[in-house]
Structure 1
Amino acid sequence: MSDDWAAQRTEAARVQAERLRARQDVEHEEAEALLRDFVRAAAAAGLEPEPLQVKGYGGRGTARTSLRGWYLRQDRTAGVTTDGTFYVLTAPLTLVDRVRGARVAPQRPPMILGAGGKDGSSIELVAALERLLPGWRNTAT
């Protein structure tokens, strides 16, 4: 009986993990579509992109990147590039990174930036984009 119970629990956990991944995929796809629409609207509105930098963990310095785009958070820890790709702009920086520049990998965007962080540090992606270009959704069709 114990083996049967363990097998049932394992299967239940697997099914729950699959459902969570499916929900996360839907959220990421919605966020990716929002970012693509925003980039088109920003280009049409003439919103100038800027060079994006990476912040070191714990506020320890910054490093250049080859990326250009817009910061999504006021603390400059997330950004979107001119092609609609999302980046988390924090990393463990070495002295070499600070001098030569750092590379960051693109990530799938969330609908809420900073979710699970300190109170008041999260912001909905739509609100972050609206702060950058008010009314952009009306022009992104």
Structure 2
Amino acid sequence: MTDDWAARRTEAARVQAERLRARQDAEHAEAEALLARFVRAAADAGLAHERLEAKGYGGKGTARTSLRGWYLRTDRTAGVTTDGTFYVLTAPLSPLDRLRGVRLAPQRPPLVLGAGGKDGSSIDLTEALDRLLPGWQAPST
């Protein structure tokens, strides 16, 4: 009986993990599609992009990156490049990193930036994009 219960619990946990992974994959795919549409709209509108910088953990300095795009958060901790790739723009920076610059790895974008953080620190991806280019989702005529 104990083995049967343990096997059922293990299977239930596996199924739950698969559902969570599938839901996260769907959210990431939706966010990736939003970013791709935004990048096209930004290019069509001639929205100026800039070189993105990485911030050190705890606000300790900044470092150059080779990335060009737009900051998605006002605290400049997330950005999207001109090709639609999402980056978290924070990293553990050494003094050498601050001098030479850093390479950041792309991340799968969330639909809510800063979810699970402090109250008021999260923002929907669509709202962040609307702040950069109001009306970007409106169909062009």
TM range (shorter): over 0.9
User: If the length of structure 1 is used for normalisation, what is the TM-score?
Assistant: 0.98
2:45 matches 1:45: yes
| Cα distance, 1:139 vs structure 2 | 4.5
What are the within-5 Å matches in structure 2 for residues 72-111 of structure 1?
72-111=72-111
2:58 matches 1:55: no
Q: Secondary structure of the equivalent of 1:137?
A: coil
Distance in 2, matches of 1:60 and 1:19, equals 38
Deviation by residue 1:97-116 (Cα, 9 ceiling, x = unmatched): 10000111000000000000
Mark the runs of 5 or more structure 1 residues left unpaired by the alignment: none
Q: CA RMSD in A?
A: 1.1
User: If the length of structure 2 is used for normalisation, what is the TM-score?
Assistant: 0.98
Letter of the 1:96 counterpart = L
Distance in 2, matches of 1:98 and 1:81, equals 21
Deviation by residue 1:56-79 (Cα, 9 ceiling, x = unmatched): 000000000000000000000000
| Cα distance, 1:140 vs structure 2 | 6.8
4+ aligned runs moved over 3 Å, structure 1: none
Residue 15 of structure 1 is matched in structure 2 by 15
Q: 1:140 to 1:89 in 2, by over 3 A?
A: farther
Letter of the 1:102 counterpart = V
Q: What is the aligned length?
A: 141
Mark the runs of 5 or more structure 2 residues left unpaired by the alignment: none
